[in-house]
Amino acid sequence: MSDKKPYSFHTLKQPLTQSDAKKKVSILGMGKDNKWALLAPYADKSMIRDLLAFEIARPWMEYTPQGRLCEVYLDGTYYGVYILCEVVSKGKYRLDLPDPGEDEEAITGGYIVEVGTEDKPHHVSKYHPVDSWGRAFTDDTIYLQYEWPDFEDLTPAQVEYIDQCIDNMEDAFASSKYKDPEVGYAKYIDVQSFMDYQLNTEISRNVDGYRLSTKLYKRRDSVDSRFKMVIWDNNLAFGNARHNEAYKTNTWAVLYNTKLHNRGDYMIPFWWYKLARDKNYTNPRKERWAQYRENNVRMDRLMATIDSLANEVTSGGAEARNAQAWPRWGIFVWPNYYIAENYQDEIDYLKNWLTERIAWLDNTFGYVAPPLPPQYVPGDVNGDGQVSVADINVLVDIIMGGEHDEETMARADVNEDKEYSIADISCVINIILAEAP
């Protein structure tokens, strides 16, 4: 639906041959593979929403795709800023899944399926989506596409197997004993993986979360028989979409089946309704949220991540070149909620939206964030907010082998050469002298 199109491509051997032409390569520091995507930020005028979602998810989920901002030129034509990105697929540096076979063990994995649409070969769920009270929309259907292996490469026995795995999982969710850890849903899903997917989807209030581009994967039973999840497709997240109230900071993305139904849109599987009614899931989810907030979802770290990504877009003039190729400032691009006048305006909106969203989630989960640490001052080794002889004393102790906490050790590398030496002391002395009246 965008003028600026995304692409996928394979890296190939040269010269090309009729067989085995694909060649795995490392691009921009990402692990070797032959299947890549060029995501095309168009409705996302910040051009960083996908990468921001990835960076939020990365410390928590087993696999999160890598991506790199880049500019694309093809046959002498400038195409603009893109995100060169790993595809969620089998691979040594991606999802390290075995090819499914035919015998009793090999047929059990691995597989990737995706909650999506009916436009590709798919499994049809036996269960309808439900509203916020658990009432089924009997005229709506959930589709799970066969993502890997490609459907044409699956044997009938393999299709039957993965279909049965999906049915078993959904039967457990639908059972009256679905909360039972032995026979309920926990037997069929990695609960922590689903929880992390949900927290990441709710942080971004992703309008496409849960229901489109929602990827599940499964290894062989001898390794892990449970389904796990991967984050993908966040270009309309973080307050970027006006439909389904996705711009709001104070609503659950998971509770919008009624609005989706009224729009005739694709809906959210009933699993999430069931999870929300099990304290064995919701209580640990609160604890997990506290872990997020005390790590990379701490507000100063979130803002630093946004600044770092935005700086990549602007520092070398890429944003200006992209704006010339795709003029969008002050113009509505579907489905924008906020129409920014320039790049900094868009980033400010993203930051403000995310600040309000995190505050609402904190309140919902009953989490009270501790005060943020004081802003780092170069040379402030002991973290007291000023640079003085006391910092030199700490440096001397560290150089002599003294042990300190992780943050003090990080501040002690004043010249950022990854060593603790007299050079760091010299830097501190120079800072003190420069600040002296």
Q: Tell how strand 67-74 and strand 35-39 pair up.
A: unpaired
pLDDT tens-digit readout, 369-406: 888 766 778 889 988 888 999 999 999 999 999 989 88
DSSP symbols for 311-326: HHHHHTSHHHHHHHHS
Tokens of 356: 């309000």
pLDDT tens-digit readout, 68-82: 999 999 999 999 999
Tokens of 79: 């195409």
Residue 432, pLDDT score: 86
Please check whether residue 284 is in contact with residue 292, taking contact to mean a CB–CB distance below 8 angstroms. no
Please check whether residue 210 is in contact with residue 232, taking contact to mean a CB–CB distance below 8 angstroms. no
Q: Which residues pair with 72 in a beta bridge?
A: 80
List the chain residues with pLDDT less than 70: 17-20, 373-374, 435-437
CA distance 270 to 174: 9
Residue 371, pLDDT score: 84
Residue 16, pLDDT score: 74
Secondary element (H or E) of residue 228? strand 228-230
Q: Residue 211: name the closest of 126, 95, 130 by CA.
A: 130
Residue 392, pLDDT score: 93
pTM of the entire predicted model: 0.86
DSSP symbols for 331-372: S--TTBSS--SSHHHHHHHHHHHHHHHHHHHHHHHT--PPPP
Q: Which residues pair with 122 in a beta bridge?
A: 145
Backbone φ and ψ for 18, nearest 5 degrees, come out as -75, -25
Tokens of 195: 């929880």
CA dihedral 149, 268, 86, 326 (to 10 degrees): 130
Domain boundaries, the chain: 7-86, 106-278, 299-365, 389-435
CA distance 277 to 263: 26
